[in-house]
Structure 1
């Protein structure tokens, strides 16, 4: 029994883009390359490509009654060893199609166009009834393939739905077709390409590419060179009239975006030497690209832009937490809150709750401590990731801090990293206990932290035990950091020397509070010289009078 393979492909727009080449080409014009699924077919390959449609008159409110003019292409390709005589295919339409034209084929039931084919129809060749084998024609596509240009009217499927036929099959005797597979092709002018998650690394269809599947997370080269690059492969096809396979056009106007990363400005593609990369088969060999371009993207510093992460400060000597700034990561609907009011001090346990669940804690804490309560209440920080820096201890020879990362996003951050800049305490850094710590002196006294092996996932937010009443639970990572004062004489932790001056998460700079925790339950740690002089004078007078009357 011979085999035939069917594939349904969705195509939305025409866009000449580029194509993968093989070496030793000495021609200029060739038909467009077939889909990669052809490589697995050793019989007859069928495909149906939906190209476009336009809304027809009359325009009606009932979606099922609205008519659309459509264009599509059906292909029959002989990938076997034997010639296919008098090819015949069946297309099972299912949207009340009325066929107006079928260039390259005829309807086998003898109907003329217009033909109602809503329940399917059989097609056979008109000018090319037989398809020769590739072996006998040196791979001449004009003899081994036929293309049927279909146009007509269909009903009932409004965008973004895709009105595909139910099935397509070869009906010649001696061939058996499996169920067709569906593959969506993206032909947008500005496609968004996302990195694959790690679990796709060994996928037989999209994985098994060296350096693939980083989930969008790239580490600095100084941290781990093997995780500083991400590779992905895109299958690109050419569509008439641009079918010159030797002409390569690289994508332009690149832009890097992400959930949590800085802004980048990318330059134009520049042709460079062909890239060499490990062979995907795993053999000790390298594969050389046909052509390579380099696009350089640099971090930009926009004049005004909201952060995507924020920092809160707390300390052992103060019961209150200074939370993230109001609207640190932007404010959406602020009709019920004050975007200009400073954030309210919180009890430490409130950091574990989403902002919308902190209101009662903040109000109760303000009443207990006699803090001012703004009206309306300040808006939230609206950040996907927040970091708490807590001064844990302070003694004569050293001090410790605790850093806690909260992930309020739904996604996981694999191979996350955070960086802090300590202006005065940097030289005193000793050790971080639950993370990896790396000193980067050339980067303005920066310390970079990463999760240990097996703890390098900052998990996403999850529902509480009872979603109907319990607040959502953020993903969390935490570690204690120790510092010595031997290398930093004169350092004063409570006056700000024990707090980072800049904090980054995955390269994104986080918003910092504008003040530090105060000493003694809210009394600021400073000295009032007027009060001291007044107290000193009063003490002298009291002492003098005491001596006078004794």
Structure 2
């Protein structure tokens, strides 16, 4: 009996440890339900989903929101979204509800729907940007008309058992809680109105719940050592090893091979690590006051285009980033006293889409960092990141004892001087 109690507590402790992200400790998705008006048998509500996660977004095929009604509610209509099933509405005559299920499931509409079906911040195919990447796009909303629900704050019952999929598992939603009513500005922005009743639901993400294995890995190399430290073997699990595809396979020329499946199952290129994503960190150059890093992200999944991708790295010298050449960059400061984490993401219309595996399935950039004289060193793997995340999931790093090591040659011999200085030296030597 003691064993089972201990196992239970360990499981609970492990779950909360996995759900807590020290790089984004307050990140969550908050679902706000605002009752805007009463109807003869219920209410009309605006449902707003705000993604307050700094670097984790909801990508295609988008979010799926579900709940359980507390009574015998039905959905008369939805604007800006739709339910996936109507359910049994046979007892209704005349006007038929949009959905009669006890446990409705709602999805966003695709872009381009008629104007009369749109609602503010709707119709993006369920794609919601990360808050740190684009706050204006980190929201999705729809309007719902609910019947058989009660027509006052005292008779309305809060829905239960909220679920959020986005676009896979990983999110756990807490209970709905009544909060102070939301205040709104009228369209002319000259007058405030207020929701008749508001409740919130908070959903948090756990990589442990989302998948058994990591979804990305990291490899290292440097200018001062010919050794390349690859991703660990089977870093993302080898369950797809039997169905992987070689880069020269004839299968890749078949029509429709890149079409995603409904279950989001990958079609991976055969590699020793079997990861959909590999991040490569290369220590490229060393100057007197600066050093230079090249970052490459490669897609090995033939069925996935990663839109709005994000890459997060933790390294002590990221507090002195001087220039990032072909990614957008934003420092993340989870604690005020530490500035060692940054988020990289693609420039719009240039490299914000990481194409499926193949010749175009790669994005790369370089960053220039100013040296911190007190801490900078190439020894003991200091130049490599402590943590790397892709799309909000932590990637597997190689073991520290396999990092490219610094040779015994003098540190000053590693300095790279600008080409014009070298050219001038050669000219002077020739003249001499």
2:202 paired with 1:296: yes
Task: State whether residues 164 and 171 of structure 2, in contact with CA within 8 Å, keep that contact through their aligned partners in structure 1.
Answer: yes
CA distance in 1, matches of 2:403, 2:352: 34
- Give the structure 2 partner of residue 325 of structure 1: 232
1:471-508 deviations in Å (ceiling 9; x for gaps): x44533211101222x2346333631211111122322
Matches within 5 A, 1:7-46: 22-23=37-38, 35=77
CA distance in 2, matches of 1:379, 1:516: 22
CA distance in 2, matches of 1:186, 1:385: 41
2:310 paired with 1:438: no
- Give the structure 1 partner of residue 425 of structure 2: none
2:324 paired with 1:422: no
CA distance in 2, matches of 1:298, 1:489: 38
* Aligned pair partner of 1:477 in 349, 352, 363: 363
CA distance in 2, matches of 1:384, 1:439: 26
* Aligned pair partner of 1:460 in 355, 362, 376: 355
Name the CA shift for 1:480/1:74 in 2 (closer, same or farther; >3 Å).
same
2:386 paired with 1:501: yes
CA distance in 1, matches of 2:141, 2:114: 13
CA distance in 2, matches of 1:456, 1:25: 51
- Give the structure 2 partner of residue 271 of structure 1: 178
Task: State whether residues 269 and 294 of structure 1, in contact with CA within 8 Å, keep that contact through their aligned partners in structure 2.
Answer: yes
SS of the equivalent of 1:22 reads strand
CA distance in 2, matches of 1:260, 1:51: 23
Task: Identify unmatched segments of 5+ residues in structure 2.
Answer: 1-32, 44-71, 80-84, 250-269, 409-432
- Give the structure 2 partner of residue 226 of structure 1: 136
1:262-306 deviations in Å (ceiling 9; x for gaps): x44432110112224566xx6547664443211223445749942
SS of the equivalent of 2:364 reads strand
CA RMSD of aligned residues (A): 4.5
SS of the equivalent of 2:121 reads coil
The Cα of 1:516 is off from its aligned counterpart by 7.1
Matches within 5 A, 1:59-138: 72=90, 75-76=93-94
1:425-461 deviations in Å (ceiling 9; x for gaps): 3344211111222233444411222323433622331
- Aligned length, in residue pairs: 315
Matches within 5 A, 1:148-297: 185=99, 187=101, 189=103, 191=105, 193-195=106-108, 199-200=111-112, 203-210=114-121, 213=124, 215-221=126-132, 224-227=134-137, 229-233=138-142, 235=144, 237-238=146-147, 244=150, 247-258=155-166, 263-277=170-184, 284=189, 288-297=194-203
Q: Which structure has the larger Rg?
A: 1
CA distance in 2, matches of 1:288, 1:455: 42
* Aligned pair partner of 1:450 in 338, 345, 349: 345
Task: State whether residues 421 and 500 of structure 1, in contact with CA within 8 Å, keep that contact through their aligned partners in structure 2.
Answer: yes
- Give the structure 1 partner of residue 395 of structure 2: 510
1:482-540 deviations in Å (ceiling 9; x for gaps): 1222x234633363121111112232222212247766xxxx5466xxxxxxxxxxxxx
TM-score (norm 1): 0.47
1:385-413 deviations in Å (ceiling 9; x for gaps): 32221111124432211112234454444
Task: Identify unmatched segments of 5+ residues in structure 1.
Answer: 1-17, 38-48, 53-70, 78-146, 148-182, 338-353, 360-377, 463-471, 528-550
- Give the structure 1 partner of residue 296 of structure 2: 404
Task: State whether residues 281 and 296 of structure 2, in contact with CA within 8 Å, keep that contact through their aligned partners in structure 1.
Answer: yes
Task: State whether residues 428 and 488 of structure 1, in contact with CA within 8 Å, keep that contact through their aligned partners in structure 2.
Answer: no
CA distance in 2, matches of 1:439, 1:50: 45
CA distance in 2, matches of 1:287, 1:214: 30
TM-score (norm 2): 0.57
